[in-house]
Amino acid sequence: MKDTFLAKGSANLDKLKDLCNEGKENPSALFQLYTQAVLDITYFEENQLVDEDFPEESALPKLKELISVLSEPEDLVRECGIKEPLNILGAELLECLYWRKGALLYMYCHTAKERSEWVQENIATFKKCLHDGVQYLMKMLSFRGPLQLDEDISLQDKDTARLLSEGIFSDTHLLAMMYSGEMCYWGLKHCGEGKQESLESIDPVSNSDPGSRSQSMSLDFQEAGRNMLTKYVAVCEGPLKGQGWNTTTAKQMLHYFVKSHN
C-alpha cells in the first residue's frame, strides 16, 4: 500500500518533468501536480516513522524535514510572486498540506507524551510541537470556513446544512477539531499555562510557513481547546448523532479545561 503512494508520487514527478519540458501547461496545473507528488512521497515516509513508533533519537529531525517538504508547495507559489496560494493550489490541496502537517505532529506528540522522562527534559520542544500542530489544524479548518447559507438556498437535509454552516465538509475536518482539542489538552496538562510567550527561538519543526508565523504568539491552549472540543461535541451529538462519533473523551477533556480555568 505504502509503495503504491511512492510509485504514484514518482509518476507525478515524471509527468511534471515532461510538462515542464513541453512548456505548454498552465502554471496552476504544474503547481498542483507538484503538490500531489509531495503529498504522495511524504505519505510513504510518514508511514515509516509511524511504523517505527517515532524513534526517540531520530524522529525529530525527520519530522522537521517532512514538515519543511510539506510547506514547499506554498512557499514556492509565494516565491513566484503570487500572494495568495489559495488561488493557485485550491482549498482542497492546501487543506491536505496543513492536515498532513498537523496530523503528523499530533501522532508524534501522542507517542512522545508517553515518554515522561523525555517530556520533562524537552518540555519547550514538546510545547512547540503541540503549538505548531494546533496552528496547522486551525489553519486547515480556515481555508473554506463556515458556509454562509443564503435564504434562497434550499437544502433538503437540515443536518448537512448545519455541518456546512459549521465549516465541516468531511470527516477530516471533524478529526482536525478533535486532534487540535486533544493537543491543547496535552499542552495544558503537561506544559502548564497555554499562552505562548517566547517559543520563536525553539525550532523543532519548520517555521517556513508565513501563515502560521503571523499567528505564532496568539495561541492559548485552554481557549483554543475549549472552542474546538465544544464545537466537536455539538456536531457529533447534533447533526451526526448516531453516526458512530464518540464524544466521551472530548467531554472529559472539556471538563478538565473548565476545572483548570476555575
State the sign of the Cα–Cα–Cα–Cα dihedral 118, 137, 191, 213. positive
pLDDT beneath 70, residues of the chain: 1-3, 5-25, 146-157, 193-218, 262
Q: If we measure between CA atoms, which residue out of 165, 169, 167 comes closest to residue 148?
A: 165
pLDDT of 159: 73
Question: The cell 437540515 sits on which residue?
Answer: 158
pLDDT of 260: 80
Provide DSSP, 82-109: -S-THHHHHHHHHHHHHHHHHHHHHHHH
CA distance linking residue 226 with residue 260, whole number of Å: 11
- Supply 227's cell numbers: 472552542
pLDDT tens-digit series, residues 32-80:
888 998 999 899 899 999 999 999 989 999 999 999 999 999 999 999 8
pLDDT of 165: 72
Contact 236, 166 (CB under 8 A): no
Q: Mapping DSSP to helix (H, G, I), strand (E, B) and coil, where does residue 73 land?
A: helix
Q: How many CA atoms lie within 13 A of 146 on its CB side?
A: 9
> Strand locations in the chain, DSSP E?
none
Show contacts of 112-116: CB within 8 Å, 24+ apart: 112/54, 113/186, 113/190, 115/56
Rg (CA), the chain: 19
Burial class of residue 81, CB neighbours in 10 A (0-12, 13-18, 19+): exposed
Q: What angle do the packed helices 86-112 and 59-79 form, to 10 degrees?
A: 170
Q: If we measure between CA atoms, which residue out of 85, 128, 130 comes closest to residue 105?
A: 130
pLDDT of 46: 93
pLDDT of 145: 72
- Supply 87's cell numbers: 488561488
Q: If we measure between CA atoms, which residue out of 195, 259, 189 comes closest to residue 223?
A: 195
pLDDT of 230: 94
- Supply 174's cell numbers: 471533524
